[in-house]
Amino acid sequence: MSTVAPRRQHVTLRSDVGFSGHRYRAGRHVRLVHDPVSGRCYEFGPREAFLADALRQPRPFEEVEASYSRQFDRHLSPHTWGAFVGQLNARGLLDPTAGLPEVPVTTRADPELRKSSLREGRWVVAPVSRIVPRLLRVTRPLFSPWLVLPQFALVAAMLVWVATRLSATADPFAPLHDWRLMVTVGILSWISLSLHEFGHGVAAAYFGGSASEVGVLFRPPTIFFYCRVDSGGYVTSRRAQVMVALAGVWVNLIVLLPAWAWWALTDNKEHQAALLAGIAVGVFGALVNLIPVPPTDGFKALAAGLGQLDLARDSRACLVASARQLLGKAATPYPIRQRLVYLTVALMVVAIYGAALGLLVWYSLAVLPPAVGAITLAAALAYGAGVGSLRLSRSNRTPTGKEA
């Protein structure tokens, strides 16, 4: 493949190629470029993004070179320009009418090719190409503004009702002392958690992304359905990313509305008490998932809103770098604004986890019987340490490449 394009050859990107606004990785500006044909998303640094953006309209090399020199105070050589154009052409991002050698564009990969993995505790059970599109066809009306606003009103009213009832009830969770009701609530919570995952997949499909995998995930002692989301086209919109991140929590709240209606329609006090306890458990689980600490949906929404591609890792790295600087050691520099964002998030996460740990210790030692409290505390700490080390090892193995 030739790396030098003719200097006077006017090349342009395909009109359907999508650009994101500014995103950040390790404090550095990047932009995401999405190819809707292949489904791939590429991560470009400031200079690459500038050149790619310049190719949205036919422009001669001399004009691009002049703009590049003004922007970055450095010369753009014909060889560098040709290499970049050749790279875009190899990825199939250029308009084929430019006259460059045509490159076959790979269509979106079939998401059903991924195998189940017992080692990872994952079992792929369903063809995504049929399930998620069908769910989207059924639920698409729910995305209409005419139905979204009533949903917000109903959920808000339910949350106010739950808060009012809990404050007026001496022991709202007393019905859960009955093991049969506890098992029922557990099963319904499992179903809600599975619907939560499908909510992410359907929302991603609605905004132009896709779900690459539907299956069963086993994480002792739990087992539940999951739906792996590929960002696809909606990576170019922060708003869409935030909404996809919060879609699962929204589904968890929506599925509680029938139980709330049942409570209002029944006169049986025992049924009302049981329904209140079940709804309160569901609301608590949904709201906990909004707490902005990794790996919750609230943290993913925060990262999307801030335009951060890997907020958890970058915040941790910035905190370590700042500590090294305080000790007089060499560390990776960060722009002031991004350093402020990363340190604020890192300290917030540490504070929230610290408060949760303190609450767990207090509850285990002061409320529960001594033996039960000790076992509960040890199990919770062991589980948290295991999950944390697993996520950390996976994060350290994840490469940061040009293809996002």
Which domain, by its residues, includes 269? 113-309
**Above 50 in pLDDT, residue 400?**
no
**Above 50 in pLDDT, residue 404?**
no
Q: Indicate whether 347 belongs to any domain.
A: yes
Are 183 and 227 in the same domain?
yes
Q: Check: CB of residue 303 under 8 Å from CB of residue 311.
A: yes
Query: CA–CA distance from 231 to each of 29, 118, 210, 237 (Å)?
Result: 19, 26, 7, 10
The last residue of one of the domains, among 275, 309, 343, is 309
- Summarize the confidence of residues 75-91 as an average pLDDT: 87
Predicted local distance difference test score (pLDDT) of residue 24: 92
- Summarize the confidence of residues 362-382 as an average pLDDT: 74
- Between 177 and 63, name the one with better pLDDT: 63
**Above 50 in pLDDT, residue 361?**
yes
Are 340 and 215 in the same domain?
no
Region at 26 (left for phi over 0; alpha for psi -120 to 50; beta for the rest) = left
**Above 90 in pLDDT, residue 324?**
no
Are 126 and 159 in the same domain?
yes
Are 304 and 338 in the same domain?
no
Are 351 and 277 in the same domain?
no
Q: Check: CB of residue 262 under 8 Å from CB of residue 231.
A: no
Are 268 and 343 in the same domain?
no
Q: Indicate whether 65 belongs to any domain.
A: yes
Q: Which amino acid is at 340?
A: L
The last residue of one of the domains, among 72, 98, 124, is 98
- Summarize the confidence of residues 185-198 as an average pLDDT: 85
356-393 CB burial, b ≥16 within 10 A, e <16: eeeebeeebeeeeeeeebeebbeebeeeeeeeeeeeee
Q: Indicate whether 161 belongs to any domain.
A: yes
Q: Indicate whether 321 belongs to any domain.
A: no
Region at 27 (left for phi over 0; alpha for psi -120 to 50; beta for the rest) = left
Q: Indicate whether 260 belongs to any domain.
A: yes
Predicted local distance difference test score (pLDDT) of residue 34: 84
**Above 60 in pLDDT, residue 403?**
no
In the beta sheet, which residues pair with residue 258? none
Q: Which two tokens stand for residue 97?
A: 């009418």
- Summarize the confidence of residues 4-17 as an average pLDDT: 69
Strands of 14-163, DSSP E: 18-19, 23-25, 28-34, 41-44, 122-126
Are 91 and 120 in the same domain?
no
The last residue of one of the domains, among 278, 309, 340, is 309
Predicted local distance difference test score (pLDDT) of residue 290: 94
Q: What percent of the chain has pLDDT over 90?
A: 25
Q: Indicate whether 319 belongs to any domain.
A: no
Q: Indicate whether 9 belongs to any domain.
A: no
Predicted local distance difference test score (pLDDT) of residue 119: 56
Measured CA to CA, the distance from residue 88 to residue 110 in angstroms comes to 23
70 burial class (0-12, 13-18, 19+ CB within 10 angstroms)? Answer: exposed
Are 280 and 235 in the same domain?
yes
Convert the pLDDT of each residue in 197-219 to its tens digit: 889 889 988 888 777 777 777 76
Predicted local distance difference test score (pLDDT) of residue 220: 62
Are 70 and 196 in the same domain?
no
Are 256 and 190 in the same domain?
yes
Q: What percent of the chain has pLDDT over 70?
A: 81
Predicted local distance difference test score (pLDDT) of residue 394: 47
Predicted local distance difference test score (pLDDT) of residue 249: 95
Predicted local distance difference test score (pLDDT) of residue 99: 59
- Between 132 and 29, name the one with better pLDDT: 29
Q: Indicate whether 323 belongs to any domain.
A: no
Total of domains in the chain:
3
Q: Output phi, psi for 398, to 5 deg.
A: -80, 115
Are 191 and 88 in the same domain?
no
Predicted local distance difference test score (pLDDT) of residue 298: 95
Q: Output phi, psi for 144, to 5 deg.
A: -70, 140
Are 85 and 209 in the same domain?
no
